[in-house]
Amino acid sequence: MTTMTQTAPLVRVDGVTKRFGSGDKEMVALSGLNLEVREGEFLSLLGPSGCGKSTALNIMGGLLEATEGTVTFSGEQLTEPNRHIGMMFQQAVMFPWRTTLENVLLPVEIFGEKKKDFIPKAEELLEMVGIKDFRDSYPWQLSGGMQQRAALCRVLLHDPKLLLLDEPCGALDEFTRESMNQELLRLQDYAKSTAVLVTHNITEAVFMSDRVAVMSARPGRLVDIIEVPFDRPRRPDLQTTNDFIKLVAKARQMLELQ
């Protein structure tokens, strides 16, 4: 369903192959992946565990080098991590010796900027995700969901153009995951950034995304892309509608057909 009227994509993944190891131990994690991420969209990478989703995301974030193929970000070839790309992982990765606020301000220190310039913004973000009261608490005093919210604030502090989310709710329980996902959608919209979410949860992928890129089992390649037409903001009860259930069924079928 690609049309020629699209503006240039924010990210273009071009024939990306990733092999780990060499010789007998060589393992193809990703095989000829082609993908475009449009400016402002929410895209999910959906596939079974071990199919190379994280590998693909890490290559898009400049953390890993592709064995073959290229990644273009904002029109330029990406070879290393980029300030305008923010990453979130399955673990919140909060440093236990830092308070919530200090954790959120970590990028400021790394970038060599003045902390005090960013405190108001950090506090605003903490307030938006409802953990402002915990700004001086340490991560171990926070629940997993709260930690992940703080990690979200940290990644949004510098208004990344692209958010790369590697199962950020994967370690959370079902209820926390739902509200965290809502938070993600709200803040992605607020920050007007583009998001790529890696998940192996079909419902989550459909609920969150404008498009769902379905990947095959290893070696990972793109099976198809499902367009998700529902309006935003999306409310949890969307998940009980017929159209939603049909799309989920379609995605499931694609995953099982391979």
Residue 54 binds ligand ADP (CB under 6 A): yes
Contact partner at residue 160 from ligand ADP, Mg ion, another protein, none, CB < 5 to 8 Å by partner kind: none
| Cβ atoms < 10 Å from Cβ of 238 | 14
CB of 64 to ligand ADP, least distance (A): 8
For residue 250, with 0-12 CB atoms within 10 Å meaning exposed, 13-18 middle and 19 or more buried, which class applies? Answer: middle
Least distance (Å) from ligand ADP to the CB of residue 218?
6
CA–CA separation, 40 and 46 (whole Å): 19
* Residue 9 interacts with which of another protein, Mg ion, ligand ADP, none, CB < 5 to 8 Å by class: none
- 137 counts as binding another protein under rule CB under 8 A: no
Under the criterion CB under 6 A, does residue 221 sit at the interface with ligand ADP?
A: no
Give the residue with the Cβ less far from ligand ADP, 150 or 223.
Answer: 223
The answer to whether 49 contacts ligand ADP (rule: CB under 6 A) is yes
Question: φ and ψ at 83, to 5 degrees?
Answer: -55, -30
3 state DSSP class of 134 = helix
- Are 70 and 64 in contact by the 8 Å Cβ rule? The answer is no
SS3 for 24? helix
d(CA 201, CA 218): 17
* DSSP code of residue 9: P
- Residue 52: contacted member of ligand ADP, another protein, Mg ion, none (CB under 5 to 8 Å, by partner type): ligand ADP
CA distance 194 to 198: 14
Nearer to another protein, 57 or 254 (CB): 57
Residue appearing with tokens 């192996």: 200
Among 17, 31, 54, 148, binds Mg ion (CB under 5 A): 54
Nearer to ligand ADP, 74 or 201 (CB): 201
Shortest Å, Cβ 152 to another protein:
13
Query: Token pair of 6, please?
Result: 């699209």
Q: Which is nearer to ligand ADP, 20 or 111 (CB)?
A: 20
Shortest spacing between CB 241 and another protein, in angstroms: 36
The residue from 26, 34, 50, 141 that contacts ligand ADP (CB under 6 A) is: 50
Amino acid sitting at position 166: D
Enumerate binding residues for ligand ADP (CB under 6 A): 20, 27, 29, 47, 49-55, 218
